[in-house]
Structure 1
Amino acid sequence: MEDDSVEKASTHRQPGPCTKKAAFKATRLTPTVFLVNEHSDIYDERPFIYVKTISSANTLLILDTGCGGATDKPDIKITSLREFLETCDVEDNEGKPLNVGGKMQYVIVLTDYSTPTPNYSTSLGVVVHHTPGHTPDELALWDESERMLYVGDTVYEWEHIIFPKEGSIVQWLQSMDALIELVGTSEANICCGHVTAGRPAKDVLTAAKAFVMDVLSEKESVRSRFEKRGEVSVEYVQAGSRFSLICPERLVVVARQKVLAA
């Protein structure tokens, strides 16, 4: 585990009243899934964390762990995700914490994982897919029972999709095609690492891919150029700002050569 805000194994704690302000807020997305928003991080990322209750396995499946509660707001006293989950009342959960007293164990999936991994099913009813592009090790989770796709930072709306220098637009497009095929034509929703949660999956995926293809075909113009991590990066912003992109210019050049020439 890369984040100490939630420990892998749970030791039972006696719940007490949560009277302190927390760095997190939780709302219900589905009968089993809660969206936990880390709303006041110092990086201004406001990441989305997804918590799925799997009662049959006495487990909380946590997708990503946010920014570790890092905040510069002095009135926020609860910065541990685990403390929030075990002690803070959630209105959408009948006014109770999501894991009262730490009685359920935790399983954590980080969508930006340490090494590439093949697709595989878990005993918790979700399928993990390797979706390289945004980063070489990006993961997505598919919950067939609730028709919910979790994609981390691969795509989202209304904020810049930011590729690091290790990313690949070529691989990203391939992963998008795979995810579009996965969700198919049936109703499915997508949950992203920022901003977008519970939106129609196929619409978000196909619209994001179309925007990036417009970037490659130069239908979208460069909004700005700047140096980042030792190389020139570019910014593109779609009219209306639904989708926008920041990445090393090199990634765009390589993708134009490989994708448009194919």
Structure 2
Amino acid sequence: MANDNKRSAFNATRLTSSTFLIKEFDDIYSEHPYVYAIIIPAKSESVLSSRHGTIILIDTGCGGASNDPNARISSLREFIETVEVTDNDNKPLNGDDDRQGRMGYIVVLTHCHYDHILGVEHFSDSLILASSHYPEFFHNIPEHSLCNFLNIHTPKYKPTLVPHGHTISNRITILHTPGHTPDSLTVYDPTSEQPMLYVGDSLYEYEPIIFPSEGSIVDWFRSVEALIEFVRNQESLLAIDLEDKEDSDVLGTGAVTHRVYNQRGAPRQQGRILLNAGHVTCLEPALTVLQTAKVFIEDVVGGREPVRRRWVKRGEQTVEYRQSRQDRDTGIRNTTGETNSRFSLICPERLHSRRT
């Protein structure tokens, strides 16, 4: 089995005892997408895809097209089933000494953009879930995925469109969160030792939040406000559960859990939902990120942030904003030594009109 990440287009790190982050770290599109793998053992399943257990994949990345000419493993599925992962006791995520790929897959696509679907054809034998919020959006995947714009192959796949509130195995919830695109969705997993919210490209930090021409900032505000309310409600329930757990710990019946750290190495607090995005942002407090991103976009549409750049993209006047109302020390320095704003925005100019 391969065990050298430099020979693969991907690498993987553990987030919790059952969840891994897979990074496509050097793709030719410079997207560096985040793919998440939630491993559900057979014994904890209800109705899932394999008697050996199931891996729920959130997105499938850019298809393994790497800048590294020595990257021999370009298939996400091959990586998951054959490449030894240090954080998984030097075993593949879905493989052992007896057989590769024993667990089945359920693929959840947070939206249909190319950097989330180019690896999906390798999972054609699996259940593929997408949002039913606007079914007509799937009638022109070559255009809406941006594959036509990039002049690249559009993957062929047949998603099962699911409603808002759909659950997987009565544990993982899919929420419709249109805005970035009409088909954008969010995944909530409350069942590991660390509850997680997966928001796709709805928002992230230190790279521009991007709206294509099909996006809607008005819908984005509605979705983010709904997510803020959802997180508050869920964290209230978690606080009750945490009190019960603390009582059981006093009695010596509490389970030992895997400690979770964010990307800066800071331990996260129990009873809080963490946010994972399709790029850059991982293991950050969901409520804080949602609220601060919302404030930034409100500043944009309220005219309190200046336009930093204008150009034409896909035939439309496009603008960029970068958060200026912050302490620059809270930013992250990029490879040129400049400080990136925590939040920034790129969108067609017509989309940033004042909220209605």
Tell me, yes or no, whether TM beats 0.5. Answer: yes
Q: Give the structure with the higher percent strand.
A: 1
- Tell me, what secondary structure is at the counterpart of 2:279? coil
Distance 1:162 1:17, change over 3 A: closer
User: C-alpha root-mean-square deviation of aligned residues, in Å?
Assistant: 1.5
- Tell me, what secondary structure is at the counterpart of 2:30? coil
Match in the other structure for 1:91: 86
**Partners of 2:60 and 2:76 within 8 A in 1:** yes
Quick one: which of 25, 46, 49 aligns to 2:11? 25
Letter of the structure 2 residue corresponding to residue 236 of structure 1 = Y
Match in the other structure for 1:245: 345
C-alpha separation between the residues in 1 aligned to 2:82 and 2:22?
A: 14
Report % sequence identity. Answer: 51
TM-score when normalising by structure 1: 0.88
Q: How many residues align?
A: 241
For 1:1-262, list aligned pairs within 5 A: 16-18=1-3, 21-56=7-42, 57=45, 58-100=53-95, 101-113=100-112, 115-116=132-133, 117-119=162-164, 120-123=166-169, 125-146=171-192, 147-184=195-232, 186=235, 187-239=272-324, 240=328, 241-253=341-353, 256-258=354-356
- Tell me, what secondary structure is at the counterpart of 2:60? coil
- More deviation, 144-153/79-88: 144-153
- Tell me, what secondary structure is at the counterpart of 2:199? strand
C-alpha separation between the residues in 1 aligned to 2:295 and 2:16?
A: 29
Letter of the structure 2 residue corresponding to residue 60 of structure 1 = I
**Partners of 2:275 and 2:283 within 8 A in 1:** yes
**Partners of 1:54 and 1:124 within 8 A in 2:** no
Question: What's the CA shift for 1:18?
Answer: 4.1
TM-score when normalising by structure 2: 0.66
Q: Deviations over 1:67-86 (max 9, x none)?
A: 01012321111110011111
Computing the radius of gyration from Cα coordinates, the structure with the larger value is 2
C-alpha separation between the residues in 1 aligned to 2:80 and 2:218?
A: 38
C-alpha separation between the residues in 2 aligned to 1:177 and 1:141?
A: 16
C-alpha separation between the residues in 2 aligned to 1:208 and 1:163?
A: 14
**Partners of 2:3 and 2:85 within 8 A in 1:** no
Structure 2: give runs of 5+ residues left out of the alignment: 46-52, 113-129, 134-161, 236-271, 329-340
- Tell me, what secondary structure is at the counterpart of 1:197? coil
Q: Give the structure with the higher percent helix.
A: 2
Structure 1: give runs of 5+ residues left out of the alignment: 1-15
